[in-house]
């Protein structure tokens, strides 16, 4: 029996959980057995294996071959404002440690899956930031 969650469920086909367990950040349409009917594109969903065990949490896009982009593999981690703040802060803190970016006026501040923020890129050009959300 699946634990109750505040997020709609996506259930994988039997045997399709290995990439998720290995922390691959995408779930392709062919791996999915069922999606909760009430789940909307852009909504946070929980991903379960065929037996109902929690695997990961991400956001849904039924119109893409990559139907779920994973955000966390921790069932206790809520996707709320604090989640996004922590992820952005971690990306910026990592870049602050790189000597080659010190004093740069043009650089990528957030690099999508590489910063565990699937589909989101943020570039800095002088005093301007350019945000691209390339998944919905």
> For residue range 40-61, what is the model confidence (pLDDT) as tens digits?
999 999 999 999 999 999 999 9
Q: Which domains does the chain have, with CATH numbers?
A: 9-72 (2.30.130.10), 81-133 (3.30.750.80)
Which distant-in-sequence residues (6+ apart) come within 8 Å of 70 by Cβ? Answer: 20, 24, 25, 26, 27, 47, 56, 57, 58, 118
For the entire predicted model, the pTM comes to 0.89
Residue 96 token pair: 């602050």
To which H or E segment does residue 67 belong? Answer: strand 66-72
What is the distance in angstroms between the CA of the first residue and the CA of the last residue of the chain? 32
Average pLDDT on 91-113 reads: 93
């Amino acid at each position: 029996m699946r634990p109750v969650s505040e997020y709609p469920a996506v259930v994988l086909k039997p045997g399709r959980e290995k990439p998720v367990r290995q922390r691959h950040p995408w779930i392709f349409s062919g791996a999915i057995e069922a999606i909760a009917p009430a789940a909307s594109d852009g909504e946070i969903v929980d991903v379960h294996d065929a037996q109902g065990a929690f695997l990961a949490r991400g956001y849904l896009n039924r119109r893409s071959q990559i139907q779920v982009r994973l955000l966390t593999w921790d069932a206790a981690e809520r996707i709320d404002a604090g989640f996004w703040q922590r992820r952005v802060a971690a990306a910026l803190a990592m870049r602050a440690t790189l000597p080659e970016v010190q004093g740069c006026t043009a650089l990528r501040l957030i690099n999508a899956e590489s910063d565990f923020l699937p589909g989101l890129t943020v570039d800095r050009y002088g005093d301007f930031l350019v945000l691209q959300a390339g998944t919905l």
